[in-house]
């Protein structure tokens, strides 16, 4: 089975936010919840880079480990999903998540966050695939239709890659080898405990 | 038509030359920012470098939620390890350890008896306001302890027994109960602080009480005031513990108001570790109050204790109460003697 992963090639991301917008539209994500966002590091400085970040669908996910009610599960495709019927909105997954992926409908004073919402890799949730109730709770289930997540599909510079981990890692590796530089497969060490060996020669002045 | 420069007046040419010099002088630093030999991309920020410099990677975002500007915080994995392994081990060892210790104490030493036997006289120890406050704290602490333990141990102990739906329903209830039971708890502790802080100031008597082993050694009853050295130590530890759980708890009740994600992780850890110690302390308190000392329970139940119990455990307090002519209930059946 494929192990689904995201890889954002920060050297290609132009911070157009199409991934963010298309995600909100595709999944009818409510106000205040951002399953995906683009963060710019060293904004305005030479060498600034933008990274599109969402749930990385970690292997051995920290959110699943700390959830007091055990509402997370990993699909056969390596996608980390959760059951909103079980979620109690305690906020622990947000403290454990290295990528700030879990989102809540409300700020959460006195534990009033509401049910957690996060990127599903466009793979819906535990309800019947493609059912209206699944769409209402978790958004689109593109994976069940044989499609990849909308964010990666719309990416105009192909910075955001989604798919089987070995395939996207190979694409990134080839790119870096061809162009001679790469700022790294962001989050891969933390999420999957692996790095994409890019094998570029060290640059002068580094 | 020919040589247009030659037609410009020499003084104007001088001014133009001066302007050009100034422009180039300011332009010089720009020229110094020559492109990187390998192009601008080689100077780009790299994830691994950023992670070595800081515990998180933060940037600029375009959405209102400023928490989302943190793109990566690997410390979440450390927090997860503590939640999953350390906290469960520490909690289990400390709480079960103390519980076992007192169970052993009960079956070996047994409860401390009233040595002179019960008298037929009672002495008032705690007013009803004090007892109501105490039991308000006791009830809210029980709710807080059980619902708090549920967060750390429920998934392992209770979830397999009741199933995911029932456990989720109970945990949601427990989460809100925990948030709201904190208020009567803290209010009660503040009231007891105001009522009892003065009587709990340590004195030289308490040092002697501790040196004598606090009466745990049989047949030795070091003098003590209304509260003995052990009770005073318990009082102040419980006060400190309350401050600890209350302050860290406020951070958790209002997430991200005053701190970032690492602050939330630390608040939760402080809250959980103090809570574990607090639960162990309360187990000791319940044992001594309800089981370990014969006659001790009545102090918080009816508010009146047996006079012999009071003489045994709080001799100085009894002397002072008598000296001040406080109301000591006469023996049953006694008729008051009219004072001439």
Among A86, A94, A100, the residue with its CB nearest the CB of B164 is A86
Burial class (CB in 10 A: 0-12, 13-18, 19+), B63: middle
pLDDT of residue B37: 59
Question: Which pLDDT tens digit goes with each residue over A72-102?
Answer: 999 999 999 999 999 999 999 999 999 999 9
For B146-191, the pLDDT digits (tens) are 999 999 999 999 999 999 999 999 999 999 999 999 999 999 999 9
Environment class of residue B59 by beta-carbon count within 10 Å: exposed (0-12), middle (13-18) or buried (19+)?
A: buried
Using a CB-CB cut-off of 8 Å, the residues of chain B touching A203 are 36, 38, 42
d(CA A186, CA B144): 41
> Tokens 């009960």 identify what position?
B106
Q: How far is the C-alpha of B212 from the C-alpha of B228, rounded, in Å?
A: 12
Q: Do B45 and A179 touch (CB under 8 A)?
A: no
pLDDT exceeds 90 at position B55: yes
What stretches of chain A adopt beta strand conformation (E)? 4-8, 37-41, 49-53, 72-74, 80-82, 160-164
Q: Give which of B263, B264, B265, B260 is closest to B65, Cα–Cα.
A: B260
Which of A43, A47, A186 comes nearest B47 by C-beta?
A: A186
Interface contact B76, partner A, CB < 8 A: yes
Question: Which residues from chain B sit within 8 angstroms of residue A65, using beta carbons?
Answer: 80, 83-84
Q: What is the mean pLDDT of chain B?
A: 88
- In B4-33, the residues whose Cβ lies within 8 Å of chain A are 33
Asked whether the beta carbons of A116 and A87 are under 8 A apart, the reply is: yes
pLDDT of residue A4: 97
- Pairing relationship of beta strands B304-306 and B122-124 according to DSSP bridges: antiparallel
Nearest to B155 among A32, A51, A69 (CB): A69
Among B41, B62, B84, the residue with its CB nearest the CB of A11 is B41
Please tell me the pTM assigned to this model.
Answer: 0.87
Instruction: Single out the residue of A121, A122, A150 nearest to residue A61, CA to CA.
Output: A121
pLDDT of A190 above 60: yes
Instruction: Report the percentage of chain B scoring pLDDT > 90.
Output: 71
Q: Residue B276 is encoded by which pair of tokens?
A: 């574990």
**DSSP bridge pairs for A51:** A39
Q: Taking residues A93-117, what's their average pLDDT?
A: 93
Q: Does ipTM exceed 0.90?
A: yes
Determine whether the interchain pair A68/B171 forms a contact, defined as Cβ–Cβ distance below 8 Å.
Answer: yes
Residue corresponding to tokens 């001594």: B288
Name the least confident of A131-145, A187-201, B127-141.
Answer: A187-201
Q: What is the DSSP letter of B297?
A: T
Q: What is the mean pLDDT of residues B30-51?
A: 69
pLDDT at residue B32, as a whole number? 47
pLDDT of B5 strictly over 60: no
Distance from CA of A134 to the nearest CA of B (A): 18
Nearest CA-CA partner of A140 in A13, A18, A49, A25: A25
Sort B335 into a burial class: Cβ within 10 Å, 0-12 / 13-18 / 19+.
exposed
Predicted pLDDT of residue B144: 98
- What residue of A is the nearest CA neighbor of B63? A37
- For every residue of A29-85, DSSP letters joined together read PPTT--S-EEEEETTTSTT-EEEEE-----TT-HHHHH-TT--EEE-TTS-EEE-TT
Tokens of B120: 């037929």
d(CA A48, CA A34): 23
Q: pLDDT, tens digit, for every residue of B73-118?
A: 999 999 999 999 999 999 999 999 999 999 999 999 888 889 899 9
Q: Decide if B185 contacts B141 (C-beta within 8 A).
A: yes
Which pLDDT does position A13 carry in this prediction?
95
């Amino acid at each position: 089975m494929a192990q689904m992963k995201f890889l954002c090639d920060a050297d290609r991301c132009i911070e157009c936010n199409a991934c963010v917008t298309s995600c909100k539209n595709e999944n009818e994500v409510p106000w205040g919840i951002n399953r995906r966002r683009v963060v710019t590091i060293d904004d305005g400085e030479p060498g600034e880079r933008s990274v599109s970040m969402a749930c990385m669908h970690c292997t051995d996910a920290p959110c699943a480990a700390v959830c007091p009610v055990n509402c997370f599960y990993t699909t056969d495709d390596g996608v980390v999903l959760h059951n909103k019927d079980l979620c109690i909105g305690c906020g622990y997954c947000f403290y454990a998540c290295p990528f700030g992926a879990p989102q809540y409908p409300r700020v959460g004073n006195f534990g009033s966050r509401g049910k957690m919402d996060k990127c599903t890799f466009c793979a819906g949730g535990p309800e019947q695939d493609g059912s209206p109730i699944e769409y209402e709770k978790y958004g689109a289930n593109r994976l069940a239709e044989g499609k990849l997540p909308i964010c990666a599909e719309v990416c105009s510079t192909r910075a955001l890659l989604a798919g089987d981990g070995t395939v996207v890692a190979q694409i990134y590796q080839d790119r870096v080898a061809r162009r001679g530089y790469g700022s790294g497969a962001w989050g891969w060490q933390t999420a999957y405990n692996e790095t994409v060996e890019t094998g570029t020669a060290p640059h002068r002045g580094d | 038509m020919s040589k247009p420069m030659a037609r410009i007046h020499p003084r104007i040419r001088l001014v133009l030359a001066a302007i050009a010099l100034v422009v180039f002088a300011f332009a010089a630093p720009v020229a110094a920012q020559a492109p990187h030999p390998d192009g601008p991309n080689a100077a780009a920020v790299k994830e691994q470098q950023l992670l070595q410099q800081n515990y998180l990677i933060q940037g600029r975002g375009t959405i209102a939620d400023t928490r989302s500007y943190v793109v990566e915080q690997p410390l979440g994995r450390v927090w997860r390890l503590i939640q999953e392994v350390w906290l469960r081990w520490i909690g289990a060892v400390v709480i079960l350890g103390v519980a076992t210790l007192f169970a052993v104490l009960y079956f070996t030493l047994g409860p401390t008896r009233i040595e002179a036997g019960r008298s037929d006289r009672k002495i008032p120890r705690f007013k009803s306001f004090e007892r109501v406050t105490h039991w308000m704290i006791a009830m809210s602490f029980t709710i807080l302890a059980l619902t708090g333990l549920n967060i750390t141990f429920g998934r392992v102990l209770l979830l397999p027994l009741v199933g995911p739906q029932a456990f989720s329903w109970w945990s949601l209830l427990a989460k809100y109960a925990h948030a709201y039971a904190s208020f009567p708890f803290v209010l009660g502790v503040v009231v007891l602080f105001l009522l009892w802080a003065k009587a709990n100031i340590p004195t030289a008597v308490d040092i002697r009480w501790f040196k004598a082993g606090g009466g745990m050694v049989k047949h030795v009853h070091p003098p003590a005031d209304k509260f003995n050295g052990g009770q005073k130590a318990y009082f102040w530890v419980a006060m400190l513990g309350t401050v600890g759980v209350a302050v860290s708890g406020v951070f958790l009740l209002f997430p991200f108001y005053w701190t970032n994600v690492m602050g939330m992780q630390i608040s939760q850890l402080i809250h959980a570790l103090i809570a574990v110690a607090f639960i162990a302390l309360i187990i000791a308190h319940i044992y001594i109050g309800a089981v370990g000392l014969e006659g001790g329970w009545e102090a918080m139940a009816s508010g009146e204790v047996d006079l012999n119990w009071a003489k045994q455990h709080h001799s100085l307090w009894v002397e002072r109460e008598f000296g001040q002519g406080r109301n000591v209930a006469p023996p049953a059946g006694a008729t008051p003697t009219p004072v001439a």
